[in-house]
Amino acid sequence: MIIALCAIALVYYLRGVLAPFVGAFLIAYVVNPVVDKIEFWVRLCLRKPRFSAVPKRVARIVATLATLLLMCLAITVFCLIFIPQVTAECSRFVTLVKKFMSDSAWLQPVLSIVPSDWRAELQNMTVGTELVNTLQSIDFWETLQSMIAKLLPGALGVLSGTATVVLTLVSIVFIAMYTTFLMLDMPKITRKVRILIPLESDDRPDILRKTNLLMKAYFRSQSLVAFIVGGLYAVSFAVIGFPMGIAFGMFIGILNMVPYLQAASMPIAAFLGIIYSLDTGMPYWQVLLVITAIYLIIQIVEDMLIIPRIVGTEMNLPPVLILLSISVWGKLLGFIGLVCAIPFTCIVIAIFQQYVEHRLFPRRRREEVVPKGREVP
């Protein structure tokens, strides 16, 4: 117990340093099957007699470099396809906001839906410069940090950590380096972990298989789920001409990596709905109905079709435990903790169950293992 508490305290103290490493490990773990497959093909090619002098380590190095090249190619294609569209949507959004802030005809519908105690103060403001200056005087960053710190403690570390561009670039470089070395040494790391697990030899494969199943079910499958859900939101919002529809849909897909976190995008959707309503002339309540319908339909499709077919039921945790694990791991590891909260919790539960079976109730386990008719020593 003391060792566990010391380990938790050490992780909390080093969370800023461990976050890039954990992020790199997740990337390396997700793409490891691709590396293994390419390594297998390279080894087949190296079996030819003229390559007999080539060390076996070369196959892993070639596979790692090829995977990194494929990742860079995929990111480049993604940027070439989506960055121009996102840029155009952002320009359109800025134009709409400027028109919204400078045209009194646009402000009147907004004033009609805001609370009455706010309406008098807004009407006393000058439509143009004074209102803009008032909005600019609000310390938006500090307010956002305080709100997120109360709702989601782990996200505060992300906001404060990404405030400086230089630190962000340094983190990206470290993540790239960590990812490369982890991809190279993943087989060796797997063997070392098997040795370090403090269980009997017969029980190590079971806990390792369960841990790998949980990690695979969440990170690899949930990444695919987030990609599909983000695409559904992006297509839905783009079809109706929603401001920043593609970018906003992709943002919801990223949030979908953490259960229930996509609900944090609803206030943003409501704000964008105001811009959309004023731009198209559609009543705001109808816009809210359309937005609500999109959220509900995609959520039903995700829960009924996508998650059962891709993720399965390995992560069957109650909602209360999910929210608690998100808060605890988010506090420990920041944004990485938010992403890893569910599988880490499942792994801790699996290890705890294994410990209880072996240390607290060993006789019960022996009775289950020994066949009937034989005496238990």
Give the integer Cα–Cα distance in Å for 326 and 337.
7
Structure-block tokens of residue 56 = 């076996």
Nearest Cα residue to 268 out of 281, 252, 282: 252
What's the chain's average pLDDT?
74
Residue 306 resides in a domain? yes
Residue 311 resides in a domain? yes
DSSP assigned state of 197: S
Give the integer Cα–Cα distance in Å for 341 and 212.
15
Residue 348 resides in a domain? yes
Cβ–Cβ under 8 Å, residues 153 and 331: yes
What SS3 string covers 111-122? HHHCCHHHHHHH
Nearest Cα residue to 110 out of 275, 330, 226, 339: 275
Per-residue pLDDT of the chain (377 residues; tens, 9 = 90+): 577 677 777 777 777 777 788 788 888 888 888 899 998 898 888 887 777 777 778 888 999 999 999 999 998 998 888 788 778 777 777 777 676 666 656 566 655 655 566 555 555 544 444 544 554 454 544 554 555 455 455 544 544 544 556 667 777 888 889 899 999 988 888 777 777 665 555 555 566 677 777 777 677 777 888 889 999 998 999 888 888 888 888 889 888 887 777 888 888 888 888 878 877 778 888 889 999 999 999 989 988 888 777 766 556 667 777 778 878 887 776 777 777 777 778 778 777 777 766 666 555 555 554 444 444 44
DSSP assigned state of 214: H
Residue 78 resides in a domain? yes
DSSP assigned state of 243: T
State how far the alpha carbon of 104 is from the alpha carbons of 60, 98, 109, 243, 337, in Å: 65, 12, 9, 21, 46
Residue 256 resides in a domain? yes
Which residues touch 232 (CB under 8 Å, ≥6 apart)? 249, 298, 301
Number of domains present in the structure of the chain: 1
Residue 250 resides in a domain? yes
Residue 117 resides in a domain? no
Which residues touch 235 (CB under 8 Å, ≥6 apart)? 249
Residue-level pLDDT at 70: 93
Domain of 241 in residue numbering reads as: 18-102+138-369
Residue-level pLDDT at 110: 59
